[in-house]
Structure 1
Amino acid sequence: MTEFFETFNNGARHLREEQEFQKVNVAQAKRGGSGPQPLDLESGRIVLVHPGHTAPGLAVDVRRASATDHPAVARLRVRAQLDAEGLSPDHEWLDRLRDVEHDDQESQVWVAIQREAVVASLVWCPPGHSPRRLPADTVDVWMVTVDPETSGQAVLRALLDNAIARARAGGARTMVVSWLPGAVPGARLRHALGLVRDASLDWEPAPDIVQQAYRLDL
């Protein structure tokens, strides 16, 4: 119902995105809060706790996907593609999206966990592992999907903060993030992350399947 209402009221969508962004754009915890959690690059995890809350169920846990996460990631990716592009349920590209194991072998699949469920995912390609030709010092991030029933902007911020931290730690100089045109996040979040639109990096992983690219200079 919220998405239907926002279709006819851009102001409502902006207000929701602003509220979700404020959940993570906090550097100091409120009274009794635990504050931002440190990024553990060794484990590949980042835990984001909503300001003013300490309940584990409200945290966002970002980690490398396990084999048991793959079915949930596949469902999330297919749903996002259908919602964004309106493909027919038997489109051959959907079979590619379901092959999460392939992406995790060729690159890395990362997930955001909230209340013990997969609520977002992306494919993180180290330099030299992208399915397309990019400079040798570039990390490629694509198939970025978020469950629309979650606090999408907050979850996405945690997932991308982790991706950026790992790219910097590995010495990359640039990171490219690609979305389906209908799934690109709000301008405020893109600006906060430093993502700049770069149409020259748009690409089609399959015929008529467009990925819209944004660049971050690290």
Structure 2
Amino acid sequence: MQLRLATPDDHEVVGRATVAAYAPFLGGDRPDTGYVEHLRDAARRAAEAELWVACSEAGEVLGSVTICPEGSPWRELARPGEGEFRMLAVDPTAQGQGVGRALVEHALTHFRSGGATGVVLCSMAEMTAAHALYGRLGFVREPALDWSPAPGVELLSFRLTFAPQES
């Protein structure tokens, strides 16, 4: 598996894969908030943050994550000095193969090497597989940061604090 910044040629497939990964959590009686179009808009994420993709050896995009540097409009929870990532998405055909873990570990390495004190994120309450992954990687729930962007949509927050690096 290769991790790299997305290129404009990736945007359409990343948008489709992101919508497909989130689809099981968007149906039912959730209000139409325009979130599907937000998920599909990979080009905007690439322009306003850092859109990373995981690719197969053959170059097929398997998943993506949006890394939100300080100053990015995609940040929702992070304080100065903290990292934040959003829209971790693995194409349903590639789920269960370590793609999500590789993308999260990449984001953690990115922020740690940049001097961040830790990473925060939020996730839909129903995304229990992602929550389990975050727990395995050392994240803990941060209920004080939970929030609701729209009626019927509850986001749970998680935090990972990095151990101080020895000099």
TM-score of the two chains, using structure 2 as the length reference: 0.81
Identity %: 32
- Residue of 93, 100, 113 corresponding to 2:42: 100
Deviations 1:136-177 (Å, cap 9, x if unpaired)?
A: 011111111112222435111111111100101111102013
Match of 1:83 in 2: 24
Residue 171 of structure 1 aligns to a residue whose secondary structure is: coil
Q: Shift of the alpha carbon at 1:87?
A: 5.6
Match of 1:118 in 2: 61
Aligned pairs, number: 158
Contact 2:51–2:66, Cα closer than 8 Å, also in 1: yes
Structure 2: gaps of 5 or more residues = 163-167
Q: Shift of the alpha carbon at 1:86?
A: 1.1
Alignment of 1:33-182 (within 5 A): 60-86=1-27, 91=32, 92-114=34-56, 115-129=58-72, 130-132=74-76, 134-152=78-96, 154-182=98-126
Change (3 A) 1:165 1:94: same
Contact 2:53–2:63, Cα closer than 8 Å, also in 1: yes
Larger Rg: 1
Structure 1: gaps of 5 or more residues = 1-59
TM-score of the two chains, using structure 1 as the length reference: 0.63
Q: Shift of the alpha carbon at 1:109?
A: 1.0
In the alignment, structure 1 residue 203 sits paired with structure 2 residue 147: yes
Q: Tell me, in whole angstroms, the C-alpha distance in 2 between the residues paired with 1:74 and 1:214.
A: 25
Contact 1:128–1:136, Cα closer than 8 Å, also in 2: no
Residue 92 of structure 2 aligns to a residue whose secondary structure is: coil
Q: Tell me, in whole angstroms, the C-alpha distance in 1 between the residues paired with 2:77 and 2:42.
A: 21
